[in-house]
Amino acid sequence: MKRYILLLSVIILIGCTQNKMQTETKKLNLSLETRDPKTNQVITKIEHVDASKIGVIIIDPWNFHWCMTACERVSAMVPRWNRAVEVARKLGMPIVWMPSDIVGVYSGYAQRERTLGVKLQPVPHVREMPPVIFTAKVGDCMCGPGINCHVNFGWDRINPDLFIADEDLIAATTDEVYSLFKERGITHILYMGLHTNMCLFGKPGALQFMWQTGMTCMIAIDINDANTHYNPATGYTPDQGTQQTDEDLQRAGVPMINVVKEWQKIGMWDDKWIVETVRIVPWGKPKRPYFFEKSTTVTLTTPWLDDVNIRYTLDGSEPNKSSTLYEKPIIISETTTLHAAAFRDGRLVSIPTDAFFVHLPAQPPQPDVYLEALNYIINVSHLIYFAV
């Protein structure tokens, strides 16, 4: 009997300890970073908040973009994105997907129907969005000089590699997402997505509108991407464009958090997870090559990997720790498949990736006379009339 009571006491003690750990895990001390508008110095504020009071909004994670580099940059974020959102779900955060333009595709999905079943509430306007001046130049596309991508709106759903859980929600409007969060007692919003200076900032349900409701709005600095440009002549990359855009928002008072660092702080991020991809610009793929006429300059970056060596190959083989070390932008002048990966102390620490570049043959000479410039002469005698 004594042994039974002792065993029961141990079980109860273990259960209480587990419950206490789970409760403590949900208490977050977020490091919210803004910037002094005059000095640009980082200002860190610790926000104490229960994880259940935070909602995640994901803006425009489309499966396609008219710019091939923009499209592949989204795919490069997906592994980190999936892991981060998986942890957010475990912490009790509701996940709301907001893929503007194509929400109708999800009609009949439980995640969309559940949203439509929420009683709409009036959206309050309790404060103004601070003025934001985006300073990063937006190019014709993010592939840089050369043959620009043709604008076409081919996206028709969420990136297929992003995991949408059964309990997630899919919303289309500001009042839908506000009502969802109001019903759940949400006070803080964590934004992920693209493009930071356009969609994530100004689409329905995006930062500009939810800020006005009085909720505390944050952006995941490690899971967002701005629409800017690439200039190999100056070394300016889309990574720098995103950083510049994030800093513009921070100077306006919009806080950023590094999601992975926050999940590490509470022991819910495994550092053994390999979730990063070497970023390539311009970034074509075999089914959507990057075409160039004479040569193209390719830049490789790893914005969220420190102390790594980027290794690459141009012969179609997978890179290893002995492959060519990336030290400066690569000049490609013929049709080439580039493979790249990051290594730290000889160990692979990124997901291997590739890009495909196609060298176009010499263009024929320009005509001396264009057809539309010719004067047409009709010889009436050669016309044949058919009578019915």
Q: What is the mean pLDDT of residues 308-330?
A: 97
Which pLDDT score is estimated for 4? 43
Evaluate whether residue 371 is within a structural domain: no
Q: Are residues 217 and 122 in the same domain?
A: yes
- What total of structural domains would you count in the chain? 2
Q: What secondary structure does DSSP assign to 102-150, as a single string?
A: -GGGGTT-HHHHHHHTSPP-PPP--SPPPP----SPP-SSTT-SSSPPP
Domain that holds residue 196: 27-275
Decide which of 376 and 189 is more confident.
189
Q: Are residues 57 and 197 in the same domain?
A: yes
Q: Are residues 229 and 321 in the same domain?
A: no
CA atoms within 13 A of residue 49's CA, in its CB half-sphere: 25
pLDDT of 118-176, one tens digit each?
Answer: 999 999 999 999 999 999 999 999 999 989 999 999 999 999 999 999 999 999 999 99
Q: Which residues pair with 285 in a beta bridge?
A: 288
pLDDT of 344-382, one tens digit each?
Answer: 999 999 999 999 999 999 878 888 888 888 887 777 666
Evaluate whether residue 369 is within a structural domain: no
Q: Are residues 163 and 138 in the same domain?
A: yes
Q: Are residues 284 and 271 in the same domain?
A: no
Q: Are residues 340 and 227 in the same domain?
A: no
Q: Are residues 291 and 179 in the same domain?
A: no
Which pLDDT score is estimated for 22? 42
Q: Are residues 53 and 118 in the same domain?
A: yes
Q: Are residues 284 and 148 in the same domain?
A: no
Q: Are residues 196 and 305 in the same domain?
A: no
The tokens describing 319, both together, are 């890179």
The residue out of 212, 241, 275 marking a domain boundary is: 275
Evaluate whether residue 384 is within a structural domain: no
Could you report how far apart the first and last alpha carbons of the chain are, in Å?
113
pTM of the model: 0.88
Domain containing residue 343: CATH number: 2.60.40
Q: Which residues pair with 94 in a beta bridge?
A: none
Q: What secondary structure does DSSP assign to 308-320, as a single string?
A: -EEEEESSSPPP-
Which pLDDT score is estimated for 381? 64
pLDDT of 160-172, one tens digit each?
Answer: 999 999 999 999 9
Evaluate whether residue 18 is within a structural domain: no
Which pLDDT score is estimated for 374? 81
Evaluate whether residue 35 is within a structural domain: yes
Evaluate whether residue 385 is within a structural domain: no
Q: Is 226 helix (H, G, I), strand (E, B) or coil?
A: coil
Distance separating alpha carbons of residues 138 and 118, to the nearest angstrom:
38
Domain containing residue 159: CATH number: 3.40.50.850
Q: What is the mean pLDDT of residues 288-297?
A: 96
The residue out of 244, 275, 306 marking a domain boundary is: 275
The residue out of 275, 295, 322 marking a domain boundary is: 275
Evaluate whether residue 56 is within a structural domain: yes
Per-residue H/E/C for the chain: CHHHHHHHHHHHHHHHHHHHHHHHHCEEEEEEEEECCCCCCEEEEEEEEEHHHEEEEEECCECCCCCHHHHHHHHHHHHHHHHHHHHHHHCCCCEEEECCCCHHHHCCCHHHHHHHCCCCCCCCCCCCCCCCCCCCCCCCCCCCCCCCCCCCCCCCCECCCCCCCCCCEECCCHHHHHHHHHHHCCCEEEEEEECCCCHHHHCCCCHHHHHCCCCEEEEEEEEEECCCCCECCCCECHHHHHHHHHHHHHHCCCCEECHHHHHHHCCCCCCCCCCCECEEECCCECCECEEECCCEEEEEECCCCCCCEEEEECCCCCCCCCCEECCCCEEECCCEEEEEEEEECCEECCECEEEEEEECCCCCCCCCCCHHHCCCCCCHHHCCCCCC
Q: What is the mean pLDDT of the chain?
A: 92
Distance separating alpha carbons of residues 65 and 6, to the nearest angstrom:
63
Evaluate whether residue 2 is within a structural domain: no
Q: Are residues 289 and 226 in the same domain?
A: no
Q: Are residues 116 and 204 in the same domain?
A: yes
